[in-house]
Amino acid sequence: MISVESGIEHTDLEKEAPWELEYRPPPLWPTSGSISFSSVNFRYNLDSPLVLRNLGASIFPRQTYGIVGKTGAGKSSLIAALFRLSEPEGSIDIDGMLTTCIGLHDLRKKMSIALQVCTAEHSHMFF
């Protein structure tokens, strides 16, 4: 009965944005991988508090970045905003394309998450 209850609850979730929109990014997008966050606000649900507030940052191509902060600071939420797990306010732009102007599938199929690899040579990224 618990699984039936969970199933019913899941029919009543907030819907994600469309997977594809009429406006499609060019097939080769993104070519260089620059990312710009500008005045980004992000929350997980309509009725939950902001977890990213007025965030601005520029990520330049072919650079490796480390994001540090105490637990709950919002490191993982940065990635959640990038993948549009819920809709960010402000703008997140990848190679000149606003992530909120394209369908979720067009956005997500061009990004991947590499699980944390902690060797001496590969210990750059911590989320």
Ligand X SMILES: Nc1ncnc2c1ncn2[C@@H]1O[C@H](COP(=O)(O)OP(=O)(O)OP(=O)(O)O)[C@@H](O)[C@H]1O
Residues that bind ligand X (CB under 6 A): 44, 48, 51, 69, 71-77
Q: Which is nearer to ligand X, 63 or 71 (CB)?
A: 71
Q: How far apart are CA 17 and CA 103, in angstroms?
A: 7
Please state the length of the chain: 127
Per-residue binding letters, 57-96, with Mg ion (x by CB under 5 A): ------------------xx--------------------
Cα separation of 83 and 7, whole Å?
25
Q: CB of residue 72 vs Mg ion: minimum separation in angstroms?
A: 8
CB of 48 to ligand X, least distance (A): 6
For residue 73 the two structure tokens come to 């600071």
From the list ligand X, Mg ion, none, partner contacted by residue 72 (C-beta under 5 to 8 A by kind) = ligand X
Confirm or reject binding of residue 116 to Mg ion (CB under 5 A). no
Taking the least distance from each CB to ligand X, the nearer of 21 and 67 is: 67
3-class DSSP string for 5-46: HHHHHHCCCCCCCCCCCCCCCCCCCCCCCCEEEEEEEECCCC
**Rounded Cα gap, residues 33 and 53, in angstroms:** 24
Query: Which residues contact Mg ion by CB under 5 A?
Result: 75-76
